[in-house]
Amino acid sequence: MEYKNFFNRIGVSDEETKKRLEEIRWEYFFGPDKVYVSVDDDMGYIVDTGNNDARTEGMSYGMMLCVQLDMKEEFDRIWKWSKTNMFMTEGYNEGYFAWSCATDGHKNADGPAPDGEEYYAMALFFASHRWGDGEGIFEYSKEAKDILSAMIHKGSATRGGAPMFNNENHQILFVPGSSFTDPSYHLPHFYELFAQWAYEEDREFFKEAVKASREYLVKACHPDTGFSAEYAEFDGSPMSRPLPWTRDRHDWFYSDSYRTVANIALDYLWNGIDEGQIKACANIQKALLEDMRADSFHIYEIDGRVAGPDALHPIGILATVAEAGIAAGENEISNEWLKKFYETPLRKGVRRYYDNCLYFFAFLALSGNYRIW
């Protein structure tokens, strides 16, 4: 498989791209504005600087970044911290990871967030293939298979709790047992690989999940803007039902939503399959073009109307919409997004964690360094 450097489109050489990637790696993991923290002799975590905690989202993201960059020591440190502090060995959510922990390791919650499990499993499979399996928790492939098994089979006659997938429509759930989903959790490019590498009895499920997720993303992305809601019903419509744990809205284009077109683009990069979902990538670049030029992103309804003040994560929007250019094709608009992204540095300040995670992934994909291992 060929991994292209899309920055060549705007006149950036491979050598310049390599240098910039090393700068990003150093700043994210080791610089004065790092989000990676090494602790004890053999552990480390990714801190959500806006909330001062460690989340399975960021921990699994950090592991994926490490395996892509051949950073085995940091990978193992993050994984050991995850298994030591976040993994639940008993109770309703046995086999899952607590979605949030304090930086001293104690659990802030006893519930999981399925996107964390998805990224943990994929990063572990890649680690197994790139570095080979070790012993105990470092038998990466077994750990990945066990995570996927729990995601499907919890709630069965033989295992308590609730699954992370709806076993009828094969859609990932917002939380185990919930009646709705999060479009940005739909990762058909991961499911393609899970269908090859999961336990034999789980592979057919993921084959169905691939198809279900691509079809779902077509419905979840607005036909004109390409925007998806943060949370959505199984038919793709924005989920506006009240939730017991929050009074906030989640039926608009906001923080979680930014990842959806990036996921579509990466799936297209790895698999080249279009079921109608990739039109969202060109649509979103057009819909946000003038706001990108004005350096002024907002909170939006999914039809494009401004619904709130300045976006909390503007660099995250810029990065993911630039990454959408992978599937949008080479044209003036796509190249303008690419140039703007390349010329924009990582975010500083207290809210840098989420933006810089999305930035890092976008740079990897666009530079040809987000690879199947």
Q: Could you list the active site residues? A: 57, 256
| SS3 (DSSP) at 180 | coil
| Cα 57 from Cα 71, distance rounded (Å) | 19
Structure-block tokens of residue 139: 């038998």
Please, what's the b/e burial string for 246-260 (b: 16 or more CB within 10 A of its CB; e: otherwise)? eeebbbbbbbbbbbb
* Contact (Cβ atoms closer than 8 angstroms) between residue 356 and residue 317: no
Q: Is residue 44 classed exposed, middle or buried when 0-12, 13-18 and 19+ CB atoms within 10 A define those classes? A: buried
| Cα 30 from Cα 115, distance rounded (Å) | 25
| The Cα angle at residue 212 between residues 373 and 364, in degrees rounded to 5 | 30
Helices (H) and strands (E) in the chain, counts: 14, 6
| Cα 178 from Cα 231, distance rounded (Å) | 11
Short-list 216, 183, 139, CA closest to 302: 183
Within its chain, how far is the Cα of 289 from the centroid?
23
Amino acid occupying residue 195? A
Residue 77: DSSP 8-state: H
H or E segment at 127?
helix 114-131
| The Cα angle at residue 107 between residues 177 and 94, in degrees rounded to 5 | 40
| Cα 263 from Cα 269, distance rounded (Å) | 10
H or E segment at 270?
helix 259-271
Structure-block tokens of residue 125: 């499979």
C-alpha pair distances (Å), 229 with each of 17, 185, 222, 286, 290: 33, 12, 9, 18, 21
* Contact (Cβ atoms closer than 8 angstroms) between residue 289 and residue 336: yes
